[in-house]
A and B are shown apart, each in its own frame.
Chain A
Amino acid sequence: MSDALFRNEPVSSTPCVADGVSISLAAPLKRYSLRARTAEALETVLNAKVPQKIGATEGGIACLGPDEWFLRTAAETAMPTDTGLPVAITDISERSICLVVEGPRAAELLMTGCPLDFDNFAVGRATRTIYETVEIIIIREGEDRFHVEVWRSFAAWLWTAFTAAASH
């Protein structure tokens, strides 16, 4: 059976379109939390390059901390098991949802509740931060497009805050 029948999203599936910015719910993604002492161990396990600098992204993998990476992928991916290396891979696909904030006012919208300077936030950069009181992960996908990862239980509040800010 399709899991779409059972999927119950915490926010509206109808995008919120306001002057210069739109907020929409992204399609479901597979997400993995990757933890390892060294990037090399992770590269061996995944057979892919992983970014070393905190904030950098490469091939869908964002480096969030010195021993923490975050992989987002559209497709179902078979993750290696029993590698014998000190690496932890956890499926966290349903922990969060992704809101796509798009448009020339996208950075401005995020800055209504987050003190980071998104005008000077390079495309391709990712970071965990906080919007008002809600922890989020922001990935700048393009000049006018941000992906905001938020835990499901906080998503309804964040959606309300974003749509309220967008209409001002």
Chain B
Amino acid sequence: MILIHCPYCDEKRPEIEFANAGQAHVARPLDPSSQSDEEWEAYLFIRANPRGRHHERWRHVHGCGRFFNAVRDTVTDKFETTYKAGEPRR
């Protein structure tokens, strides 16, 4: 079982307490009505699918309940780091 460090609880917790919530740092456009269909489509649906280092949102759903960001290697499934939501990209 993978242990994931929760930046809020500040300890490593078992993987089953967590839920993946997709790619991190996807910012909603501040003025959606100014977006073209292509730009809006990109915001809604187009996601990175890297081989290797990937920024993801995770939620400690069966723990403190908070969303946070993580850097995970998609090849090895190893978590490089986790940090609180709102902190700059690492």
Please report A residues at the B interface, Cβ cutoff 8 Å. Answer: 54-55, 64-66, 68, 115-116, 127-130, 135
Whole-angstrom distance between the Cβ of B14 and the nearest chain A Cβ: 4
A127–B16 contact, CB under 8 A?
Answer: no
> Count of B residues near A, CB < 8 Å?
13
B9–A55 contact, CB under 8 A?
Answer: yes
A66–B66 contact, CB under 8 A?
Answer: yes
B8 partner, pick from A65, A116, A127, A129, beta carbons under 8 A: A65
5 closest A-B pairs (Cβ-Cβ)?
A65-B64, A115-B14, A130-B62, A54-B9, A65-B65
A130–B16 contact, CB under 8 A?
Answer: yes
- Cα–Cα, bound, A135→B65 (Å): 12
B17–A129 contact, CB under 8 A?
Answer: yes
Interface presence of B1 (CB below 8 A): yes
CB within 8 Å for A129 and B64 given contacts A54-B8, A66-B8: no
Interface presence of B52 (CB below 8 A): no
**Could you list some 20 contacts between A and B, CB below 8 A?**
A54-B8, A54-B9, A54-B10, A54-B64, A55-B9, A64-B64, A64-B65, A65-B66, A66-B8, A66-B66, A68-B64, A115-B1, A115-B14, A116-B13, A116-B14, A127-B63, A128-B62, A129-B17, A130-B17, A135-B62
- Cα–Cα, bound, A129→B8 (Å): 15
Which chain B residue shows the least CB distance to A64? B64
Residues of B within 8 A of A55 (CB): 9
